[in-house]
Amino acid sequence: MYELRDVRKVFDDGSVALDGMSLTVGAGEHVAFIGPSGAGKTTLFRILNLTLRPTSGMLRLNGTDVATLSGADLRRARTSIGTIYQQHNLVGRLRVVHNVLAGNLGRWSTLTALGSLLRPRATDEAARALAQVGIPEKLYARTDELSGGQQQRVAIARVLIQDPDVVLADEPVSSVDPTLAVSIVTLLRDISNESRKTLLMNLHSVELALTYFPRILGIREGRVHFDLSPDKVSPEMLEELYAGHGDERGELAALGEGTNSFGKACRPLPGFDR
Amino acid sequence: MARPADRFPASTAKSAFPYLLAVAFALTFALSLRAAQVDPRLLFDAQALGNVARFVRGALPPKLDPEFLGMLARPAAETIQISVMGMVIAVLLGAPLGLLATSSLTWRGILHERVTRRARLMLGAAPYGAARALLSVFRSIPEYVWALMFVRAVGLGPFPGVLAIGVAYGGMLGKVYSEILEAVNPRPLETLHAAGAGKAGVVLYGLLPEALPHVVSYTLYRWECAIRASAILGFVGAGGLGQQIELSMRMFQFDEVLTLLAVLLLLVGTVDFISGRIRARVVR
Ligand SMILES: Nc1ncnc2c1ncn2[C@@H]1O[C@H](COP(=O)(O)OP(=O)(O)OP(=O)(O)O)[C@@H](O)[C@H]1O
Ligand SMILES: [Mg+2]
């Protein structure tokens, strides 16, 4: 699916977000990315969804070097990648139905898109997507009147409509309560399983990552720190991954007591009982 | 705990800047006073007061006979029509030029990360520059001057007034539209773009909905201005109430002038009311 070799991203202000990242993700794989704030996870996802251009290095999507893509090809490639952002990034003044149907914009002609704004088309499809994320009654609500968690689910419904080959979810549960967080992560996992999509997810919660993903990528300072199955990830590795990031350490300590923010849903992880 | 003075050393530091600014302002004021020949005494000398008295005496009571009032209906309607048609042209000019003059949509920013430099300059920056230049020509020439030129071109009547408002206000609308659009949060736009939407999709599903309240609000405000402007334009022969005001002034019929001004006030008030209602509906 994805192949990155030595990808670097330096922003105009000189900050180095990715510093030589190499990794390969196969079709249909589920991968969780964890790492301290500022490690470059969001930047990586924006490169993977073809928004940002790497400063150097190479990115292949299904074997094609994406640097060669432009125009209609680039648009088609983007249509095959669905992104759920850290901030919801919805258009607050539009009704939910339009935000969901915007998942079709990669395929719709301008005229169809305009027509649907005036008289929504494919509303049953949108309704089904909303039902799948558990808020069917919000179809015609104004988006900025929804709660943060509901908006997150609208963003997921949009990706369902888009029906991409890859789903990139950038901390999809940072704004919802712990039980909902678990249900959103499992929802994304199940959807991806059903239609054999590749699923990449950034998670602040080590617990969720280790519980629900078969492959864990630790990112630190713009590089891959480790790339392991969850049972190989040791507390020492996590200590090292988050070294120098005090707030996230707190969460690690709580993991050992089984009293972290995910409450009853969580058991103490083996190896954290110090 | 740190005292405020420790945390904000800059706020307690002595700076000469405010004093310099004050001196510069005082100087500008004094020079302007002389150059603009501001002399309050002129307002109160015998001749001026006499003129004012003559105007007031002539204007009161305002002329309200039915025949004259009936005669006003047409120019009043014409003033409204000029402003409305003028605004239609202004929007038709301002909207496309405003979109082209929005750099975040044509050549800069996150939507253009993967566009080649060449395409960005040729297909983006060039039309952007042309649109901005055109807009600034449109709006830097006053509508009054545009009207004079259009009267030359198409003759007397409402049409040159319509064109003058259309072009001058088109320039203002386009400039302000582009500023409103550039201020829209780019994140939702990036999201649409990343999901495969083209420029049109980004505009329809992101840019316009987000910008709509400001766009509508400013357009309505300009319509209010257009009513007043269309009255002024009558002075150069572009029809409407203004032409009547000018005629009556020239004939020293101050009672007619007062009635005409009252009608103008009424029109502006009505437009104010209508646009207030529209605003309340759209701007939520
Ligand atoms: N547009 C930008 N311009 C300049 N620097 C940026 C930009 N976006 C990100 N950065 C910098 O790049 C680095 C990586 O940021 P990124 O958002 O990818 O981190 P992250 O791992 O997603 O962090 P978090 O877990 O807090 O979301 C940071 O140092 C950040 O300040
Ligand atoms: Mg991030």
Is B267 a domain residue?
Answer: yes
Task: Write down the pTM of the prediction.
Answer: 0.84
A189 located within any domain? no
Would you tell me how many other CB atoms lie within 10 Å of the CB of residue B32?
A: 10
CATH code (residue A72): 3.40.50.300
Tell me the mean pLDDT in the region B45-54: 82
Which range of residues forms the domain containing residue A116?
Answer: 87-163
Q: Which pLDDT does position A51 carry in this prediction?
A: 94
Q: How far is B201 from chain A (nearest CA, A)?
A: 6
Q: What mean pLDDT do residues B30-35 have?
A: 84
Distance between CA atoms of A248 and A97, rounded to whole angstroms? 37
**Residues A105, A69 share a domain:** no
Residues A74 and A173 in one domain: yes
Q: For the segment B169-185, what is each residue's pLDDT rounded down to a tens digit?
A: 999 999 999 999 999 99
| A15: in domain | yes
- Claim to verify: residue A66 and residue A172 sit in the same structural domain: yes
State which residues form the domain around B118: 63-283
Residue B3 placed within a domain: no
> A with B: how many residue pairs have Cβ under 8 Å apart?
90
Q: For ligand 1, is residue A17 a contact (CB within 6 Å)? A: yes
Whether residue A272 is predicted with pLDDT greater than 80 in this model: the reply is: no
In a domain, B67, yes or no: yes
B121 part of a folded domain: yes
- Does residue A271 form part of some domain? no
Alpha-carbon span A251 to A36, nearest angstrom? 12
A219 domain residue, yes or no: yes
Mean pLDDT of all residues in A121-139: 92
Over the Cα atoms of chain A, what is R_g?
19
Can you tell me the mean pLDDT for B59-71?
82
Per-residue pLDDT of A233-242, as tens digits, reads 888 889 989 9
CB atoms within 10 A of CB A224: 17
More confident residue, B172 or B11: B172
Verify that A111 and A69 share a domain, yes or no. Answer: no
Task: Output phi, psi for B60, to 5 deg.
Answer: -105, 135
| Domain contains B36 | no
Task: Looking at the CA of residue A15, tell me the nearest atom of ligand 1.
Answer: 5
Q: Which ligand is nearest to the CA of A223?
A: 1
The amino acid at residue B19 is Y
Q: How much distance in Å is there from the Cα of B12 to the middle of ligand 1?
A: 35
Q: Tell me whether residue A255 is in a domain.
A: no
Neighboring chain A residues of B187 at a CB cutoff of 8 Å = 85, 87, 89
- Ligand nearest, relative to CA of residue A204: 1
- The amino acid present at A121, given as its one-letter code, is R
B38 part of a folded domain: no
Among the ranges given (A18-27, A209-218, B48-57, B202-211), the one the predictor scored with the smallest mean pLDDT: B48-57
Structural domain tally of chain A? 2
**Does residue B50 belong to any structural domain of this protein?**
no
CATH number where B122 lies: 1.10.3720.10
The predicted-structure confidence for A186-213, as pLDDT tens digits, reads as follows 999 999 998 899 999 999 899 999 999 9
Nearest CA in chain A to B114: A53
Q: Element (H or E) spanning B85, and its range?
A: helix B66-100
CA distance B178 to chain A (A): 19
The tally of domains found in chain B comes to 1
Mean pLDDT of A111-129: 93
